[in-house]
Amino acid sequence: MSLIVQKFGGTSVADIERIEQVADKVARFRDDGDSVVVVVSAMSGETNRLIELAHDVQERPTPREMDVLLSTGEQVTTALLSMALNKRGVKAKSYNGGQVRILTDDSHTKARIREIDDSRLHAELEAGYVIVVAGFQGVDEHGNITTLGRGGSDTTAVALAAALKADECQIYTDVDGVYTTDPRVVDGARRLNQVTFEEMLEMASMGSRVLQIRAVEFAGKYNVPLRVLHSFQEGPGTLITLEDQTKMETPTIAGIAFNRDEAKLTILGVPDMPGVAHHILGPIGEANIEVDVIVQNVADDKTTDFTFTVGRGDLDRAEEVLNKVAGEINATEVRSDNKIAKVSVVGVGMRSHAGVASQMFAALAEVGINIQMITTSEIKISVIIEEKFLELAVRALHSSFGLEKEPENESAA
Ligand code: ASP
Ligand code: MG
């Protein structure tokens, strides 16, 4: 008997037929004696539909009214799923965020959860109810409805699992787990049985969009075991957990992540003196532009070059800021390039294995790919390359690190 939080995304509750299938699944867990809290998204496409409706009325509606509107999508699916469960003889009740009392701050459309009152939920669970909670929404201290940002139902599920000290938080979606890389790029991409929170964060922030990043952060912080599963196919999915709780010896590399949303700016002939890096990046930060990779070379005599990457959507603004800075610090030139991409090898195992970087660079050299920038962290090595070589790079790395093969020690997991 365990307490499980199960989250079903928009495609899993897209229509009545699927809601009935979800009800069958939840009922099976109930039959096995588990206590179940279900978190649902709105039917797929519904949140977008509501956003369009809003914009048909007003160009820039207040965030407060947007939240009142957007939170309705999830309320529909909670009620329908509860009905489908009741029809099966499974006692179920729907709850919206405010009824549970998922207390958030007041930043409408991107609110953060502050506190969850679990007393009502515990009482309902003890009385044998399945509780179906609306994802993505909460309430601020004045009773205003808030929402948590797109994809926020994942965060609702993890937060509830943490508050209730659930045994597992299961995220049901339209893929059967987390893969070594994007299967659309590499045929041999393989489902991982287990991955650590840290690895998942690196993979999620770089394009493997299975889970909302905030949800993974939350799960890691509160040590909530997370499992990604296919809604309508049987299978173990991927368990995301702490490193010391993974059951096998950790493979060196878990996966290859990549991101096309990168653009590069270089400021040439920068005087080599204290305060210059701050002078360059300070105004970029003030303009609310997020900087990713930063490289500054050793000065040859009195000047150096400074290169960094930003999201492509920010390139024009960043360039404007930088041109101004260049004048102020007497740099010689600003160059920009938006045809770049970032590829990373990710794995907690690289902490104890030397030579991952050289293997990565060798694999790229073998297929003739030039590396423009390199950055490393404890569990990740990233390179910036020309965008047109991205898929080639991902395939070369996937094969070089042997990721298509199931590690021997993992097959029993
Ligand atoms: N319905 C919301 C969205 O589409 C929340 C979610 O699905 O997680 O972003
Ligand atoms: Mg969704």
Give CA–CA dist 392/394, Å, rounded: 6
Domains of the chain: 3-242 (3.40.1160.10), 256-400 (3.30.2130.10)
Counting ligand 1 atoms within 8 A of each CB, the residue from 38, 44, 136, 148 with the most, and so the one to mutate, is: 136
Residue 270 has a pLDDT of: 93
* CA dihedral for 353, 355, 357, 359, sign (positive or negative): negative
Q: What is the largest CA-CA distance in the chain?
A: 79
CA 6 to chain centre: 18
Residue 146's pLDDT band (boundaries 50, 70, 90)? very high
Which ligand has its closest atom nearest to the C-alpha of 147? 1
Which residues are 341's β-sheet partners?
A: 385
Q: Whose CA is nearest to atom 6 of ligand 1?
A: 151
Give CA–CA dist 268/265, Å, rounded: 10
Calculate how far, in angstroms, residue 71's C-alpha sits from the geometric centre of ligand 1.
9
What does the pLDDT look like over 74-125, one tens digit per residue?
999 999 999 999 999 999 999 999 999 999 999 999 999 999 999 999 999 9
Residue 411's pLDDT band (boundaries 50, 70, 90)? very low
Residue 383 has a pLDDT of: 96
Sort strands 130-134 and 92-95 into parallel, antiparallel or unpaired: parallel
The residue type at 219: A
Average pLDDT, the chain: 93
- pTM for the model stands at 0.87
How many residues are present in the chain? Answer: 413
- Please check whether residue 284 is in contact with residue 378, taking contact to mean a CB–CB distance below 8 angstroms: no
- Please check whether residue 353 is in contact with residue 264, taking contact to mean a CB–CB distance below 8 angstroms: no
- Please check whether residue 145 is in contact with residue 134, taking contact to mean a CB–CB distance below 8 angstroms: no
What does the pLDDT look like over 250-279, one tens digit per residue?
678 999 999 998 999 999 999 998 999 999
Residue 205 has a pLDDT of: 62
Residue 407's pLDDT band (boundaries 50, 70, 90)? confident
- The residues lining ligand 1, judged by C-beta closer than 6 Å to any ligand atom, are 9-10, 41-42, 47, 73, 135-136, 150-153
Mean pLDDT, range 358-379, rounded to an integer: 96
Question: Which residue in 117, 121, 110, 106 sits closest to 39, CA to CA?
Answer: 121
pLDDT of 352 over the 90 cut? no
Give CA–CA dist 250/259, Å, rounded: 25
